[in-house]
Amino acid sequence: MNHAVETISLSDFLCHGELGSIKTGMSLKQFYNIMDKPDDISLTRLPIWKYGTVEFGFSNAKDSPILDFIGIYFQNHNNIPVSFPSRFCLNQWWPNDNTTLDELLFQIKELNIPVYPDELLTFDTQVAYRTLIGVSIVFDVRNSDVIIDSIQYRNKNIAENREENSL
């Protein structure tokens, strides 16, 4: 198993939906060989492997589950402080649980990453943006503050197959 520390960057996640060598489309076995045992596994309908506040969701492919979702959560979900798997070393600037919409948009502009408002995920208590490949950046609206909640990527091609297989 490969347990070496790996550098990950915000720009790679926003532009490619990848956290280092972790990419959607990989099998659960490939994923496990890189990440090892999670802190927790949620088995609601489909497995979600949790490492700190980073979650990896798998489709229900018949022969082997396939990674189709990566979510990074910044707001006190399950009372866990913001944390990345220990095998990841953060490169560049990364948001934290106090990052505002203005701060993140400034950093994204500095990284030269195009984003646009996501009207489907925006409503009175939430503001969302989306990158060109479909990474969602979600903010909570609290009083006058707009604070980051999560950054999520779902591979639509795999997710569509997930829906077809689960019917």
Query: So what's the pLDDT on residue 1?
Result: 53
Residue 19, in any domain of the structure: yes
Convert the pLDDT of each residue in 86-102 to its tens digit: 889 998 889 999 999 99
Query: So what's the pLDDT on residue 107?
Result: 95
Number of CB atoms found within 10 A of residue 76's CB: 11
What would you report as the CA-atom Rg of the chain, rounded to the nearest whole angstrom? 16
Phi and psi at 33, nearest 5°, equal -65, -25
Q: How many domains does the chain have?
A: 1
How, if at all, do strands 126-131 and 136-142 pair?
antiparallel
Question: Tokens 């939906």 sit at which residue?
Answer: 17
Query: So what's the pLDDT on residue 62?
Result: 63
Residue 139, in any domain of the structure: yes
Q: Determine contact, residues 84/137, Cβ cutoff 8 Å.
A: no
Q: Which residue has the higher pLDDT, 80 or 21?
A: 21
Residue 1, in any domain of the structure: no
Report the amino acid identity of residue 100: T
- Single pTM value for the model: 0.89
How, if at all, do strands 67-73 and 54-58 pair?
antiparallel
Phi and psi at 150, nearest 5°, equal -160, 160
Residue 128, in any domain of the structure: yes
**Domain assignment of residue 91, given as a range:** 6-166
Residue 41, in any domain of the structure: yes
Residue 62, in any domain of the structure: yes
C-beta contacts of 107-115 below 8 A and 24+ residues apart: 107/10, 108/14, 111/10, 111/11, 111/14, 113/11, 113/14, 113/15, 115/14
